[in-house]
Structure 1
């Protein structure tokens, strides 16, 4: 029986692309207007260097400082990012209603996210979803990172649920879907046009509202 539902954060519950765009816009207005004449070009460069979050911001800001001759240290800009990004964090549509409904139905909810503990915790709190989860596992705190199957096993153990009773939902084909399936869970892809649809998954959703009927169907069949 499906009793545990686990989620990725960035790109699955947190609309990171939109959140980053809002943050970059605000940071430009606050710090960069004097040094980068074209706002949209600067923001596009920031997003390009960010590489969907897979390049940490110390490197991003080092590049920007050199390219635009900014009068800041990368440490100052990184600190502004760490403190400022959560203020612009937004979830995908229907995130909170979905989580509340699943919890009400008796599913145990968990989260596995790569990242730094304080930063990801601030984003989770900004979305107002912490109380929906029975357990949240952040890679820095766990000492493990996706796609290591051990972090999925750890999450299941903390929820006290067998791996084959767990479903994991994420946007990354390897780190989320393939890794969770390899660990013994079912893997659902939160579809993202950035990635080609050429890998195996147990289910697919574009809107989070599509998830609940899939889970209920699987639970009813077993």
Structure 2
């Protein structure tokens, strides 16, 4: 019996594409950006790069923006990182169904949790901006522990916090390695959020797959059948 649903943040509950689209104007202010490209064209390329290289690192996304002639001159990667830290703390776009879904899950008696890789300051800024803090029984930002997904230990820490056995918890996330394989290795049930559509053939599929946050509750309930 499932007693708790634990979530990833980025690309699962937090709309990174929507957020990047809202940051194009700020990108123009902070960097030398190709003036011949429209905001829509830049947003499309930025979101494509984020989707393609999301599991490789920001340096690959940064390299793509330079290669495509979006960032001109001699932009510095560290400046790009500081830009993202600055604006992700100010602007975060949620999926509209996120809060209603979490409220309904808790109303059905499930405990909820969040495990997100990253540093404390940035990830908690996102959580505050998204107004999600009050919708979780437990939150783990891995930077606080020095252990990151897919390390089984971080899942075990959450399991202990929730007070349930591994087979009573389901994890919902978009990353095939960090989220799905990590949770499975910890003995948890798994739901893949197909927000990026990225999968690795060598990874065993999740027990359930969803395209949107609004499908999560039905997926959780189906694991009870």
- Deviation (angstroms), 1:197: 8.0
Q: Where does residue 94 of structure 1 map in the other structure?
A: 97
Q: Equivalent residue for 1:31? A: 30
| Distance in structure 2 (CA, Å) of the matches to 1:38 and 1:53 | 30
- Say whether the 8 Å CA contact 1:9–1:112 is kept in structure 2: yes
8 Å contact from structure 2 (residues 114, 138) kept in 1? yes
Between Structure 1 and Structure 2, which shows a larger proportion of helix residues?
1
Q: Distance in 2 between matches of 1:196 and 1:74?
A: 27
- Deviations 1:3-57 (Å, cap 9, x if unpaired)? 111001111101112212322x12233223x553334566566556652264236
- The residue that corresponds to 1:158 in the other structure is 161
Unaligned runs of 5+ in 2: none
- Structure 2 length-normalised TM: 0.82
State the partner residue of 2:139: 136
Count of aligned pairs between the two proteins: 217
Q: 1:131 to 1:74 in 2, by over 3 A?
A: same
- 1:167 deviates by 0.3
Superposed CA RMSD in Å reads: 3.0
Pair 1:212 & 2:217 matched: yes
CA shift, 1:100, in A, is 0.8
Distance 1:53 1:19, change over 3 A: farther
TM-score (norm 1): 0.83
Residue aligning to 1:18: 18
- Matched with 1:106 is 109
